[in-house]
Amino acid sequence: MEKKFMIKSLLIASSALLVLSAMKPKGKDFEVVRPFDKKKYLGKWYEIARLDYFWERNLDNVTATYSLDEAGRIKVDNKGYDTLKGKWKQSIGKAKSVADPQEGRLKVSFFGPFYAGYNVVAVDEEYKYALVAGENTKYLWLLSREKNIPEKITGEYLEKARSLGYNTDQLIWVKHDRDE
């Protein structure tokens, strides 16, 4: 019995290490929005497009809501509708500045002490549209305060993403056809 427990523990630890190594920064140093206004960034964002990855697979109607907690830290509330399971999925996390709070370079955690890069590489003056890059070219999000985004903005942000090395042909365009 102890041997089975040890084997299971090793498998779980190995799996955790693989996941964590995939989340480590890969050295991609994006130029981010500066000055970045954290307070203007708060509120609800609709995910317009994203590169596919495990945590959001099969999700539509995805939103991210950012708010401040009592200590002034950013709370992250992600929601999406799982089209395979037919139910809503929610993840609560936290975000904080990497170094300079005037930069759109944040780190986000949904798993305790483990953080992933969240780089705001473009945002309009009114903070209605944003382009967010992850730590490497596997993670990208196009966000809007509304369920859609003007074609002109989409074109500009996709060009920016391509200039950073992203394959925008692989983007998943998120449907927004149901309310929570």
Structural domain includes residue 24 = no
Long-range contacts of 119-128 (CB under 8 A, 24+ apart): 119/30, 119/32, 120/32, 120/33, 120/36, 120/41, 121/30, 121/31, 121/32, 121/33, 121/160, 121/164, 122/33, 122/156, 122/157, 122/160, 123/33, 123/36, 123/41, 124/153, 127/37, 127/40, 127/41
pLDDT band at 108 (very low <50, low <70, confident <90, very high): very high
Structural domain includes residue 145 = yes
**How much is the pLDDT for 64?**
97
**How much is the pLDDT for 22?**
40
Structural domain includes residue 130 = yes
pLDDT band at 19 (very low <50, low <70, confident <90, very high): very low
Structural domain includes residue 49 = yes
Owning domain of residue 79: 32-173
Structural domain includes residue 22 = no
Mean pLDDT of 1-6: 50
Structural domain includes residue 178 = no
The enclosing domain of 46 has a CATH number of 2.40.128.20
Q: How many domains does the chain have?
A: 1
**How much is the pLDDT for 2?**
58
Whole-model pTM over 0.85? no
Structural domain includes residue 6 = no
Structural domain includes residue 51 = yes
pLDDT band at 1 (very low <50, low <70, confident <90, very high): low
